[in-house]
Structure 1
Amino acid sequence: MKSLASFLVFYAILTLSPQAKEESFQIVHKSKSVPIIFDRNDAEVVAISSNAMAEDIKLITGIRPEISSKPKPDASAAIIIGTLGKSAMIGDLIDRGKISKGLLDGKWETFLIQIVKNPFHGLDHALVIAGSDPRGTAFGVFELSKRLGVSPWVYWADVKPAKRRDLTVTLNQVVMGPPSVKYRGIFLNDEDWGLQPWAAKNIDTDIKDIGPKTYARIFELMLRLKANYVWPAMHKCTKAFFYYDENPKVAAQYGIVLGATHCEPMLRNNVDEWQKNFFKEYGSKPGPWRYDTNEKEIKRYWNDRVKEVADRKVDAVFTVGMRGIHDGKMPGPKSTTGKIKLMDKVIKDQRNMIAEHFKRDFSEIPQIFCPYKEVLQLYQQGAEVPEDVTIVWADDNHGYIRQLSTPEEQKRSGRSGVYYHLSYWGPPEDYLWLSSVSPTLISYEMNKAYAYGADRLWVFNVGDIKPAELETEFAMDLAWDIEAWPPEEAADYVEQWAARTLGQSFAGEVAEIKAEYYRLAASGKPEHINLVSFSEQEAGRRLEAYQAIERKAIDLKKRIPAHLQNAYFQLIYYPVICAAKMNEKHLYARMGDHGRSQDAHSEIKKLTQAYNKELAGGKWDGMMSMNPRNRPVFGMPKIQNRETPQEASNTSIKTINVSELQFDSSKLQVIRGLGVDGESLSRIRFDGLSYEDAGNAPTASIRLNLPAGLRRIKLVCVPTHAIHEGRSLRCSVKIDGRQHKVLDVNSGSKSKKWTKNVIRGYSSAEVVFDLKKGGSVDLQLALLDPGLAISSIVVY
């Protein structure tokens, strides 16, 4: 476990605390900064990141370093930035043995940061940032900025660094990379209520849309987060990414790899380019979106984009396959066999286009196939996906991955990846307002995916980016280094994040608030609370818990420094208070308390108005909607006379927390922050065996005192899915040495049972034993399948 104390010591060694083994480098001293030097022949992203770091240093000290392409005669020190093979200065330092080529050569997105003595004539020493490729160089630049105290969210959440007159960095040689996941990125989605109106009003005001100025801001954020891949915004309120000629140019300048969603093959935006602007491009109306009847027109449409991407040398990943025009089923034959045959032809034709225009082997051009929703069934029933294509598995839209690669699929040269939601529009219900998917759940699911070969591409649906800042940063940190935050340690992330974002003195309090925020959301997201039933006692406890973190958030706001007030409001205060008020609005209404319910609704309105009109001088005007899509949960609920209890007829004898169980810690572990009860029991190895014999499986047990009679045992579990086809989520239950009974909590995605599970935040299964006599008995659980996470055991 990474304690905050150990993290702060580690972080201090790498930044500002003098240590005997480290070297110090003064960047700003006595109102003067060392210059920043980079080769003008290097990639544009190196110039962009170098200038951004100059602005970061100015933000801290008020002094902006001079930027040049060669050492200045009056400077004794400098920051030297460059890419292996593109910077003459970096090449010279390697030739003279000042830095090691072997640390970088041939590696993907790797960088070093090192203090070098006498790098060139006239320079006594230099802080050198060298990358194996241009993105690696940029990542190194922004890593240094982060270590100097500039948050990745310096613009996007107004996390302003503390002011200092002098600036010194103390470090040993730093080498980071290659990343665990090759392509790591975000999907800008459901932008209708935030990102698009905000960008149109405040950033790309000339085109009133999400355009190149907005994307420049987004791409800088991505580089600061060590992300390299984007699915651009694609709703009908936004023009297609390629509609504005500057958009792909900006992506190239920032070194960002372009992709497109599961329903946008060949980098085409169908909603805009097929439905709305086809006539503008081709001078005629499009025919039907059916490849079996309109192959020629659709093929031309795809082929033109592939040619454009190849001619412009756009760095891209192509999505292959076909769905409806926008997130719907592929039109075509009615039979499954016919659909599969058509899908196979689509993919073959698409790959021929890629080969024709890129003049290279298929495997050299990254391609993905995303078996999302109904496409998963076509794939499972025989659709052929060439082995060099990366299969991007999707979660069930609520944070639980539906399926991962089988042993045979893990042999594919294209490997696999994951499309994962931090924000979602769709059934059974949206969650577009607040972000409440915990780092622990993200780590649990993505570590499981990584164990089954999903190391090629991760893309996270982040909606409008805000307010998913913390969760997005965690996702990118995990994608960069899968070993940094395993599930058993992920609950500690928030404290470390808060220490570097809002300050060490507030980190513990922020972590406590967010831990409870995540726990409460696990049993009913703020956007789903109108759909979840609670007994009067449960509702009372829930209100008390929310009001406790509300008080803590209000108290902490009084002590946050002035320069971080805007950041605190965005990152902590607004989501926590609004989640509390949403619960108060609905739960008080069920209790018949109209006054408190209305007050809570009014407070959400007030805070949202402040977010848009007052925060940072109105900078975020248009970004925050308190009622995206006008779903019923956002309105005033009907006032009821009383609460209808959930499972009112059930009387539990005992609820057992998993931390009370006895087990072999080399096989099982309790994961804090996972599940509706705040902790869950899971097997340590995701890639372990499935057992048929409970006697061979990892077990957990507890001694109970139970009365005689029929005793129903209920397992409350995290609503995960079986890891892949042919597996389940089984647990064997045994009382007092009797014959075991096997339960399976796996549920088919989109089933009624699944719908209930994801809304209330848990799956469950029950078994009944007849105890002939009361007294002390042993309850034993055998976890037969990996991926099963048990949150609690209830005895009725």
Structure 2
Amino acid sequence: MNFRNLAGLSVWMLLLLLPKQNMAQRAGIAVSEINSISSFPIVDGGKASSIYIDEKDAEVVGIAAEAFKDDIHLLTGTTTSVLKNNPALSAYPIIVGTIGQSFYIDQLIKAGKINRTILSGKWETFSVSVIENPVKGVKRALVIAGSDRRGTAYGIFQLSRMLGVSPLCWWADVKPAIKKSLYVKAGQPLVESPSVKYRGIFINDEDWGIQPWAAKMMDTDVKDIGPKTYTKIFELLLRLKANYIWPGMHPSTKAFYYYANNPIMADKYAIVLGSSHCEPMLRNNVFEWAENFEHEYGKKPGEWRYDLNKNEIANYWTDRVKQAKNCESIYTVGMRGIHDGSMPGPKDKNEKVKLLGEVIADQRTILSKNITKPVSSIPQIFCPYKEVLSLYQAGLKLPDDVTIVWADDNHGYIRQLSNPEEQKRSGGSGVYYHISYWGAPQDYLWLSSISPSLISYELTKAYQYKADRLWVINVGDIKPAEMETQFAMDLAWNVNQWKPENADNYAESWAAETFGAEFAKPIAEIKAIYYRLAQAAKPEHMASVNFTDAQAEERLAAYERIYYQAESLNEKMPARLKDAFFELILYPVEGAMLMNQKILYAKKSLVLASKGDQSALTYSKKSKAAFEQIQLITKKYNEEIAGGKWNGMMSWKPRDLAVFKMPKVADSVTAKSLHITAESENKIIVRAAKYAERSVPKGLSLQSLKGLGLGGAGISLYPFTFIPIGETALQNAAFIIYQVDFKTQGEHQIEVKCLPTQGVNNGIKVRYAISVNNDKPQVINISPASENNIWKQNVLQGYASGITNHDINKTGKSTVKIYMLDPGLVINQLEIQ
């Protein structure tokens, strides 16, 4: 059939008279390797259906269609074609296109074969459907239609994922099983749209991973993160149904705009460009102001102070806006230091707030003068990160249409969210969230260990406080944070799929998709223990957290157990998945185990040596062996896995911190006094979910959350938006009761260990009240001021706690009652002594 002549058009007009497809009471479409009477054959009998697109559609549609063609070949070994504006459709065509940009899709809509209302005017929405007899001569069509260019691309990649191609197929070498045939069974169309409007990643702290790797293996001509690397990143984002990036911006990396093809490739892949919290107006100050300014402008820059050098800084911003005006971008407004430091300017806070307001007003003037649409419709974000939050809290007047992007405390706990007034702002709000970090109190750049349960808890809480405009996740080098990144993007796409109460199931679902159903449960068990152990001390934080002998032994045994489980699975893993398994499971598990062995065995050797115990030297050797093995497995990652594809990506000692070095061990055994204090292990430990009774007011629910916080579980109240309970109104609070068997009378101490969350917005704390045997309740706030010493210890040890003393006047059972007063409180366990 010819789509481009009048005779062909008359056939399409006749379609308008045909009855619409009855979609009611049918199951959704499904993929299968078995043909059935209503199936569409993607690959059947060694022959693949052709893919049809309109050449006038967006470039990303063609890119995604070509990727889908490659995915079909990867899955089946069969080659198909992408045909642009082909005059004749085959009997079984795959039709791909965007409403308003694809002749094919528009005519199917006119014919009533696609419901216009599910796509028209929507944001990044797609429909995947099997349509019977769409036109004369076509028996059945597989149709992927998008509301806009990204919606179409997401529909293509979602189908690819359903067929068995992981979003991590290139980035983690997840090779699919070969299939002889592929079919899509007809059913209710698959229609999806995102929960969060802008969803993406921040490439950061790239000095020891993605930058040296890109220089060595990808953009070898410029020896930097350049367009070849970003092309792979952009495809990953599309496969993850993400749309937004903050590019790498460290001194090791030249500015994104330095390479002309970087923004060109971003536009081709329909990726929205942004810049980090400390890079206003898409400028990379580390490179473009501090290093390259003279090359760009022919003179050295003045001081980076807006109150002293306003015109030069404004011109510098204006030039980038002019350069970027035709790219889809989100402009960061405000100002900080050249690199992640506070804004230079007056020392008086009120004067600094006034200056910051002037900066933002001038930036918006620049935007309005250089982009031909109202400034209120140009996406802008303001990120109150670190010290900027205090300036915002001091009274900064932010334009209503600017999106506030709230930051976490760099360790996964959000510092503040919008209050009821802020929630009314037209710009809405979003979240900047870390799963990788360089900074105080300790980095975690090596391994990724923030659990899906924690990510879901904090980001779901943010979503309930209307932070649905933009989520950007600091993923470091992408590797080895692939699973956690995929989880964050899956959550951003559908916030209801992985709620905090079921997020611990994600690892099993992900493992089934990535490695196959037979490996899903054991991989999920490994990941659950891996995350639980990291909550109490990330591998990179082991030198900063003390454990009792019993806790140390439990950690070592648990790590050894999951390592041997992983080794056993590796033996059973198909050859096509061994590289992926090493990258995604085995390396982080073994690396974490070895770091714990290195540090805990070193400490044990010193203790034993001080007692004159000859076994001290055995533990010294074990510690040294672990240290050496970390280097060996990292060498394997870089030089052997996937034929050396990742050479330069993995460092075992980012920033060469002390924790990565060989610790002091016993080199001789001579009894001497060693001042090592060990915490008493004579405690009663009560898991929070093991309560005897509970009372929850109407409208609230008490949730037990697996995988969240210390010990691998916690309890919390939903919804996150409930109004805090005052100290004089405890009778209105939810409470839980524990029955505790006290062996002795007298004073006892109860430590309640909680997730180290922060108050949901200014003025709200994170409190509980505790009473024993109905004595007067004591109210405790477990959330300290950010970045003080208590906070530092909390994020390293994975919990915040309150300690209360109680006079117990009887032995045997006593009643411990805990009132939950504020949203965001997660209780993990009680420790009583």
TM-score per shorter chain, which class?
over 0.9
| Equivalent residue letter for 1:224 | R
SS at match of 1:591: helix
Query: 1:526-541 counterparts in 2 under 5 A?
Result: 526-541=539-554
Instruction: Return the match for 2:405 from 367, 392, 416.
Output: 392
1:628 Cα deviation after fit: 0.7
Residue 154 (str. 1) matches residue 169 (str. 2)? yes
The SS at the match of 2:90 is coil
Correspondence 1:698 to 2:734: yes
1:734 is paired with a residue whose SS is strand
Which of 595, 605, 610 lines up with 2:621 in the alignment? 595
Q: Which amino acid aligns with 2:709?
A: G
Alpha-carbon distance, 1:99 to partner: 0.9
Alignment of 1:550-565 (within 5 A): 550-565=563-578
Aligned to 1:4: none
- Name which of 689, 701, 717 aligns with 1:658: 689
Contact kept? 1:581, 1:601, Cα under 8 Å: yes
Query: What's the counterpart of residue 14 of structure 1?
Result: 30
Residue 785, structure 1, aligned to residue 822, structure 2: yes
- Would you say the 8 A contact 2:130–2:189 is kept in 1? no
1:677 paired residue number: 711
User: What residue in structure 2 maps to residue 509 of structure 1?
Assistant: 522
Q: Please give the TM-score of this superposition, normalised by the length of structure 2.
A: 0.92
Q: CA deviation at 1:648?
A: 2.5
Partner of 2:203: 188
Q: Does 1:759 align with 2:796?
A: yes
CA separation in 1, counterparts of 2:677 and 2:121? 59
- CA drift at 1:769: 1.1
CA distance in 2, matches of 1:645, 1:410: 51
- Structure-2 change in CA distance of 1:13 and 1:779 (3 Å): farther
Match of 2:263 in 1: 248
Residue of structure 2 equivalent to 1:357 = 370
Name 2:12's counterpart in structure 1. none
Identify which of 569, 582, 588 aligns with 1:569: 582
1:741 deviation in Å?
Answer: 1.1
The structure with the larger Rg is 2
Instruction: Give the equivalent residue in structure 2 for 1:6.
Output: none
Whether contact under 8 Å (2:40, 2:183) holds in the other structure is yes
Rounded Cα–Cα distance in structure 2 between residues aligned with 1:663 and 1:140 = 45
Aligned equivalent of 1:668: 702
Q: Give the aligned partner of residue 227 of structure 2.
A: 212
Amino acid at match of 1:549: I
CA change 1:182–1:630 in 2 (3 A) is same
Contact 1:229–1:257 (Cα < 8 Å) also in 2: yes
Distance 1:701 1:647 in 2: 31
Q: Provide, for residues 198-227 of structure 1, a one-character-per-residue CA deviation record: whole Å limited to 9, x for no partner.
A: 111111111111111111100000000000
Aligned match for 1:472, one of 485, 508, 524: 485
What per-residue deviation string (whole Å, max 9, x for no partner) do you get for residues 367-399 of structure 1?
Answer: 000000110110000111111100000000000
Question: Separation in 1 of the partners of 2:795 and 2:456?
Answer: 18
Which of 647, 653, 667 is equivalent to 1:621? 647
Shift in Å, 1:72: 6.8
- Which deviates the most, 73-82 or 729-738? 73-82
The 8 Å contact of residues 34 and 182 in structure 2, kept in 1 or not, is answered as no
Q: Name the counterpart of 1:604.
A: 630
Cα distance change on mapping 1:12 and 1:468 into 2, 3 Å: farther
Match of 1:636 among 654, 659, 662: 662
**What is the alpha-carbon distance in structure 1 between the residues aligned to residue 188 and residue 679 of structure 2?**
62
* Mapping 1:35-74, distance limit 5 Å: 35-71=50-86, 73=88
2:781 aligned with 1:773: no
Counterpart for residue 457 of structure 1: 470
For 2:110 and 2:46, the matched residues in 1 are separated by 35
C-alpha contact 1:424 1:463 (8 A) present in aligned 2: yes
Give the whole-Å Cα distance in 2 for the aligned partners of 1:332 and 1:247: 33
Q: Displacement, 1:23?
A: 3.8
**Post-superposition shift, 1:534?**
0.8
Q: 1:239 aligns with which of 240, 254, 265?
A: 254
What CA distance in whole angstroms lies between the structure 1 residues aligned with 2:503 and 2:543?
29
Q: Aligned to 1:316, which of 329, 333, 337?
A: 329
- 1:645-688, CA deviations, whole angstroms, 9 ceiling, x for partnerless residues? 66625742443443344325762111000111110111121001
- Report if the CA contact (8 A) 2:407-2:433 is conserved: yes
Amino acid at match of 1:700: I
Q: Give the Cα–Cα distance (whole angstroms) in 2 for the partners of residues 546 and 329 of structure 1.
A: 41
Q: Is the counterpart of residue 741 in structure 1 residue 741 in structure 2?
A: no
Match of 1:750 in 2: 787
1 CA distance for matches of 2:449 and 2:411? 11
Q: Which residue of 1 aligns with 2:503?
A: 490
Q: Name the structure 2 match of 1:136.
A: 151
Post-superposition offset of 1:19: 11
Q: Which runs of 5 or more structure 2 residues have no equivalent in the other structure?
A: 1-25, 606-618
The C-alpha deviation readout for 1:620-653, integer Å capped at 9, x for no partner, is 1111111110011111011158997666257424
CA distance in 1, matches of 2:332, 2:554: 47
Letter of the 2:730 counterpart: A
C-alpha distance in structure 2 between counterparts of 1:691 and 1:458, whole Å: 30
Maintained 8 Å contact 2:28/2:190: no
Distance 1:12 1:581 in 2: 47
Q: Check the 8 A contact 1:71/1:78 in 2, yes or no.
A: no
Paired amino acid for 2:354: K
The size of the alignment, in residue pairs, is 784
Q: How does 1:290-439 map to 2 (within 5 A)?
A: 290-310=305-325, 313-439=326-452
Question: d(CA) in 1 for partners of 2:471 and 2:35?
Answer: 38
User: CA separation in 1, counterparts of 2:355 and 2:675?
Assistant: 51
Contact 2:50–2:83 at 8 Å: present in 1 too? yes
Q: Which amino acid aligns with 2:660?
A: F
**Given the superposition, is the C-alpha separation of residues 751 and 500 from structure 1 closer, same or farther in structure 2, using an over 3 Å criterion?**
same
> What is the SS of the residue equivalent to 2:323?
helix
Conserved in 2, the CA contact under 8 Å of 1:424 and 1:431? yes
- CA distance in structure 2 between the partners assigned to 1:179 and 1:664 by the alignment: 36
Structure 1 pair 190–762 and aligned structure 2 pair: CA distance change class (3 A): same
Q: Aligned partners of 1:551, 1:431: CA distance in 2, in Å?
A: 25
Shift of 1:184: 0.2
Contact 1:536/1:643, CA 8 A, preserved across alignment: no
Aligned-residue offset at 1:18: 6.7
Q: Give the Cα–Cα distance (whole angstroms) in 1 for the partners of residues 450 and 396 of structure 2.
A: 32
Partner of 1:722: 759
User: Structure 1, residues 402-452: CA drift from partner, whole Å, max 9, x if none?
Assistant: 111111111111111000001000111100000000000000000111111
User: What SS does the corresponding residue of 1:129 show, helix, strand or coil?
Assistant: strand
Distance 1:544 1:646, change over 3 A: farther
Where does 1:263-278 land on structure 2 (aligned, <5 Å)? 263-278=278-293
Over aligned residues, Cα RMSD in angstroms? 1.7
Q: Is 2:34–2:181's contact at 8 Å kept on the other side of the alignment? A: no
In the alignment, the residues of structure 2 paired with residue 274 and residue 533 of structure 1 have an alpha-carbon distance, to the nearest angstrom, of: 43
Cα deviation for residue 11 of structure 1 reads 12
1:486-531 Cα distance to aligned partner (Å, 9 max, x none) = 1010000000000010000000000000000000000000001011
Instruction: Specify the alignment match of 2:594 in structure 1.
Output: 581
Structure-2 separation of matches of 1:266 and 1:491: 39
Identity across the alignment (%): 51
Partner residue of 2:127?
A: 112
Q: Could you say what secondary structure the match of 2:93 adopts?
A: strand
Gaps of 5+ in 1: 1-9
Residue aligned with 2:253, SS: coil
